[in-house]
Chains A and B, each alone.
Chain A
């Protein structure tokens, strides 16, 4: 058994794994109840599935000149997928599309409430001292947008 046969078998396994991840993500996307869990399911083929498919392609074609482009595919996807996921999750939280009853732990809401309280206390004490610090922009205040 030569090494090309081994490479082809490994490539086929990689293709099967990547496609299986895409299928699992689709099933999760249909069945999961809210935005965050759907995002969790959708991330699988975006990074791991794509890496598996690209490794399979590299093992199947076995040509040196395509390796750079395949690396670029993976690197671009690993750069852009977190940006998109961050923006979607942020927009979902800010427009109230996160189901609070499904969250095990919600540290962002706790932090935001604490920051509100802190800002109010600081504003009150600043008025007592003659308005010191009231002109500064408050970093603890959440962005209203």
Chain B
């Protein structure tokens, strides 16, 4: 009983670290510890109920638990301090405003070009298939 309480408290604390961890690798370490906590809980459950059919589950967990850690550690990349942090709502709003401004500018530019001349006039120099005739309705 006391063991179960301690395991639950450990799982909650580990989840706090997984949620707060400043980098991906801290979260990976937290998930590893969480897997071993779950293993311990499975052992405790098997002992409590006397069931032995949980033991293959424990074998699989102990064999598979490291795959996620290895994969994430293999593909983790260096990121700057500024990219790693979570944006505040104000910064998110500013970023969205910039993006919508850029999209609006692009939209007006594209529609202006489309009004003045057909598109195949300017794809002539650039595209590899530009010498094929296009019908006027295609964008």
Beyond A15-B44, A50-B62, A63-B52, is A88–B10 a contact (Cβ under 8 Å)?
no
Interface string of B4-17 (1 = CB under 8 A from A): 10110111111011
Are the CB atoms of B73 and A88 closer together than 8 Å? Answer: yes
Are the CB atoms of A91 and B59 closer together than 8 Å? Answer: no
Q: How many residues of B contact A (CB 8 A)?
A: 47
Are the CB atoms of A18 and B40 closer together than 8 Å? Answer: yes
| Bound complex: CA A38 to CA B77 (Å) | 20
| Bound complex: CA A8 to CA B6 (Å) | 20
Most A CB within 10 A of own CB, among B10, B11, B12, B76: B10
| Bound complex: CA A50 to CA B41 (Å) | 10
Are the CB atoms of B13 and A30 closer together than 8 Å? Answer: yes
Are the CB atoms of A15 and B47 closer together than 8 Å? Answer: yes
Task: Give the residues in chain A near B63, CB-CB below 8 Å.
Answer: 76, 80
- On B, residues with C-beta under 8 Å from A are 2-4, 6-7, 9-14, 16-17, 23, 25-26, 28-30, 32-33, 36-37, 39-40, 43-44, 46-47, 50, 52, 55-56, 58-59, 62-63, 65-66, 69-70, 73-74, 76-79
Interface pairs (18), CB distance under 8 Å = A16-B3, A18-B3, A25-B14, A26-B13, A35-B25, A45-B37, A45-B40, A53-B44, A69-B58, A72-B62, A77-B39, A80-B62, A80-B65, A81-B32, A84-B70, A87-B69, A91-B76, A95-B78
